[in-house]
């Protein structure tokens, strides 16, 4: 039991040390610490209050991220079925009216998916969760492929669409090609959306302006509806569009340019816009990308709406010289299982299905599949735990590892990392199109 002596002596020693300290400070500086004690105590309380507030903000940020991630999952899951069924209907014989209805449904599904992706991106940016890759980039090829993707839409609208890639940027750089392409997609798609007639030009060159950061400059110039000076001020704010009537007439969430502006800033550059209402716009993207090595290719300048070429023999090629795979499909949604079944009906693969992770593990022991298409969020046993158990079974039985692909509606980077750490070889985020999955499976069957 503590007595008064045991308690008092340490307190007294602290008191003596503090008096000695204040005397020394007063002696050498002429300033007494005694009057400052209330202020010091107030600062201590304020620091504790700020620390508590910071903890609350971290909790709120985590809850927000989890909420958006869960909502993204819940929306992506039924959207995956809708997009999948649309893909299947496009392969059937339909009259022109039904084809038109189907095209409307497909565009609406893609538009909804784009909005979900943008909201998720914005949430990650605001939470500081976006991490850029730093890998090799063939910038001229990336720019050209970005333009090629939009060439059919330009042709459909009767627009002249040209690009010009200057010799000084014919190099291999390092950076994040996915995010650069995302920025280009946002800028080019906006130009196509708001240009009714005339032309769109993309110019990629070195950045000669010393007042603007970055060594790469990409301009997208259109003859579209243009933007007024007042609207330009809010153009890069989240959920902002130049005019409320724009949303009603042209659609869009107003997130693309805000996200692009943040990403460009993270890459040492910026985005700005010049525009005259009724005459068109010019968007200027700058990036700072370290040069890895020179790429010796000729100056690329081309009108591209006539250059798009699809491989008409891709389907026949995908089926040639393929072995039969044993595929275990694991998903608690009957609609998703049926969708995979229909997707693969033209392929020689042998399929077996499980509706939860525990059933999948039991089947895995007997079936020994070549490929597992694994949903992640399931009852009884989730996909993460099932994957870990499957990898343990392989070690116990000395089996060659099967390919395990996570088919999930969770799209956060942390989800990908967790899936890979559990033993998945690949993640395919729902919703995905039929041809995306078939290409991956065909490649595996030919390997």
pLDDT tens, residue by residue, 354-389: 999 999 999 999 999 999 999 998 999 999 999 999
Average pLDDT over residues 313-319: 43
pLDDT tens by residue, 412-433: 777 888 999 999 999 998 888 8
440 and 377 inside one domain:
yes
Average pLDDT over residues 119-124: 76
Distance CA 135, CA 180 (A): 12
Residue 53's pLDDT is 73
Specify if 17 maps to a domain: no
Q: Is residue 338 within 8 Å of 296, Cβ to Cβ?
A: no
DSSP letter at 313 equals T
283 and 368 inside one domain:
no
Cβ-defined contacts of 73-76 (< 8 Å, 24+): 73/377, 73/408, 73/409, 73/410, 73/411, 74/409, 75/112, 75/116, 76/113, 76/116, 76/409, 76/411, 76/429, 76/430, 76/431
DSSP letters for 188-242: HHHHHHH--SSEEEEEEEE---TTS--SEEEEEEE-SS---HHHHTTTTSTT--S
Average pLDDT over residues 396-419: 88
Domain count, the chain: 3
Residue 370's pLDDT is 96
Domain assignment of residue 163, given as a range:
135-303
Tell me the Cα Rg of the chain: 29
In CATH, what number is assigned to the domain containing residue 423?
A: 3.40.50.2300
Specify if 23 maps to a domain: no
Question: Would you place residue 38 in the very low, low, confident or very high pLDDT band (cuts 50, 70, 90)?
Answer: low
141 and 290 inside one domain:
yes
70 and 197 inside one domain:
no
pLDDT tens by residue, 150-189: 888 888 889 999 999 999 999 999 999 989 999 999 999 9
In CATH, what number is assigned to the domain containing residue 147?
A: 3.30.565.10
Poorest-pLDDT segment among 8-17, 324-333, 405-414: 8-17
81 and 187 inside one domain:
no
154 and 285 inside one domain:
yes
167 and 277 inside one domain:
yes
Distance CA 209, CA 217 (A): 9
In CATH, what number is assigned to the domain containing residue 70?
A: 1.10.287.130
Question: Would you place residue 143 in the very low, low, confident or very high pLDDT band (cuts 50, 70, 90)?
Answer: very high
Residue 252's pLDDT is 56
Specify if 35 maps to a domain: no
Question: Would you place residue 247 in the very low, low, confident or very high pLDDT band (cuts 50, 70, 90)?
Answer: very low
Average pLDDT over residues 81-93: 83
Does residue 346 carry a pLDDT above 90?
Answer: no
Dihedral sign (CA 297, 298, 301, 306): negative
Residue 319's pLDDT is 44
Residue 134: both structure tokens together: 């730093």
Distance CA 62, CA 60 (A): 5
Residue 435: both structure tokens together: 């041809």
Specify if 27 maps to a domain: no
Q: Is residue 22 within 8 Å of 34, Cβ to Cβ?
A: yes
Specify if 271 maps to a domain: yes
Residue 9's pLDDT is 52
pLDDT tens by residue, 256-313: 888 899 999 999 999 999 998 889 999 999 999 999 888 765 445 544 443 333 343 4
281 and 323 inside one domain:
no
Distance CA 359, CA 370 (A): 17
Poorest-pLDDT segment among 24-33, 34-43, 195-204: 24-33
Return the SS3 of 268.
coil
Residue 350's pLDDT is 93
Distance CA 376, CA 74 (A): 13
Question: By C-alpha distance, which of 390, 386, 425 is closest to 406?
Answer: 425
438 and 333 inside one domain:
yes
Q: Which residues contact 161 (CB under 8 A, 6 or more apart)?
A: 147, 150, 151, 154, 155, 199, 200, 201, 303, 304, 305
Specify if 26 maps to a domain: no
205 and 87 inside one domain:
no
Chosen domain end from 277, 303, 329 = 303
Peptide bond into 431 cis (omega under 30): yes
Average pLDDT over residues 340-364: 93
Chosen domain end from 303, 332, 348 = 303
Specify if 4 maps to a domain: no
Q: Which of the pair, 204 or 107, is modelled with greater confidence?
A: 204
Q: Which of the pair, 61 or 351, is modelled with greater confidence?
A: 351
Poorest-pLDDT segment among 116-130, 337-351, 353-367: 116-130
Average pLDDT over residues 39-47: 66
Residue 248's pLDDT is 45
Residue 369 burial (CB < 10 Å; 0-12/13-18/19+)? buried
201 and 287 inside one domain:
yes
262 and 285 inside one domain:
yes
Chosen domain end from 126, 153, 171 = 126
Q: Which of the pair, 418 or 65, is modelled with greater confidence?
A: 418
Q: What angle do CA 80, 82, 84 make, to 5 degrees?
A: 65
Average pLDDT over residues 224-238: 83
Specify if 350 maps to a domain: yes
């Amino acid at each position: 039991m503590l007595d008064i002596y045991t308690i008092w002596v340490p307190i007294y020693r602290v008191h003596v040390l503090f008096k000695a300290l204040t005397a020394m400070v007063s002696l050498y500086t002429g300033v007494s610490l005694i009057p400052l004690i209330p202020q010091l105590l107030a600062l201590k309380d304020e620091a504790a209050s700020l620390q508590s507030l910071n903890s609350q903000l971290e909790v709120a940020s985590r809850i927000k991220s989890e909420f958006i991630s869960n909502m993204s999952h819940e929306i992506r899951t039924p959207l995956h079925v809708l997009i999948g069924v649309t893909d299947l209907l496009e392969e059937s014989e339909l009259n022109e009216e039904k084809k038109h209805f189907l095209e409307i449904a497909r565009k609406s599904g893609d538009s909804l998916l784009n909005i979900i992706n943008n909201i998720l991106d914005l949430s990650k940016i605001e939470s500081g969760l976006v991490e850029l890759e730093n890998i090799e980039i063939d910038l001229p090829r990336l720019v050209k492929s970005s333009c090629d993707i939009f060439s059919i839409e330009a042709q459909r609208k009767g627009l002249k669409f040209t690009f010009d890639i200057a010799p000084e940027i014919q190099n291999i750089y390092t950076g994040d090609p996915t995010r650069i392409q995302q920025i280009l997609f946002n800028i080019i798609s906006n130009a196509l959306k708001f240009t009714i007639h005339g032309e769109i030009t993309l110019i990629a060159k070195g950045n000669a302006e010393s007042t603007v950061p970055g060594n790469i400059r990409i301009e997208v110039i259109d003859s579209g509806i243009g933007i007024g000076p007042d609207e330009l001020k809010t153009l890069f704010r989240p959920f902002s569009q130049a005019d409320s009537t724009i949303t009603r007439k042209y659609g869009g969430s107003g997130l693309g340019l805000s996200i692009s502006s943040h990403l460009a800033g993270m890459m040492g550059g910026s985005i700005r816009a010049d525009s005259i209402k009724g005459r068109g716009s010019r968007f200027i993207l700058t990036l700072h990308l370290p040069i890895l090595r020179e790429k010796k290719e000729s100056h690329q300048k081309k009108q591209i709406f006539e250059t798009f070429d699809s491989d008409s023999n891709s389907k026949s090629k995908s089926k040639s010289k393929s072995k039969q795979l044993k595929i275990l499909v694991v998903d608690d949604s009957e609609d998703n299982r049926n969708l995979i079944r229909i997707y693969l009906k033209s392929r020689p693969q042998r399929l077996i299905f499980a509706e939860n992770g525990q059933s999948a593990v039991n089947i895995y022991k007997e079936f020994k599949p070549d490929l597992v298409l694994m949903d992640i969020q399931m009852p009884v046993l989730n996909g993460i735990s099932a994957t870990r158990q499957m990898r343990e079974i392989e070690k116990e039985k000395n089996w060659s590892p099967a390919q395990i692909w996570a088919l999930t509606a969770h799209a956060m980077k942390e989800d990908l990392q967790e899936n890979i750490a559990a033993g998945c070889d690949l993640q395919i985020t729902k919703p995905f199109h039929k041809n995306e999955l078939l290409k991956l499976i065909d490649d595996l069957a030919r390997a």
